[in-house]
Amino acid sequence: MKPAPHQRPVALFDTVKAVLWSFIGLRRRADFERDVQKLNPVVVLATGVAMAFVFIAVLMLIVRWVVSS
């Protein structure tokens, strides 16, 4: 019997890789299907939110640096 999606083990590297590909918008369907079967959706969501905040913070730092020069 397969574990429930939210009880799957955390594969941090695979989760980060899947989220980064999602940010770009490029992903093979086979890879997407494998991720759906393998990754923990709660961890994917948390990683996506955290990476979005990091992305926004980096953009703000770049703008601050450019404006101050």
C-alpha closest to that of 18 among 46, 58, 55: 46
Domain boundaries, the chain: 10-68
Q: What percent of the chain has pLDDT over 90?
A: 48
pLDDT the model gives residue 62: 97
pLDDT the model gives residue 35: 85
Query: In Å, what is the CA distance from 32 to each residue of 15, 21, 59, 60, 64?
Result: 11, 10, 28, 31, 36
* Positions in the chain short of pLDDT 70: 1
pTM higher than 0.75: yes
pLDDT the model gives residue 12: 87
Quick: pLDDT tens for 9-26: 777 888 999 999 989 988
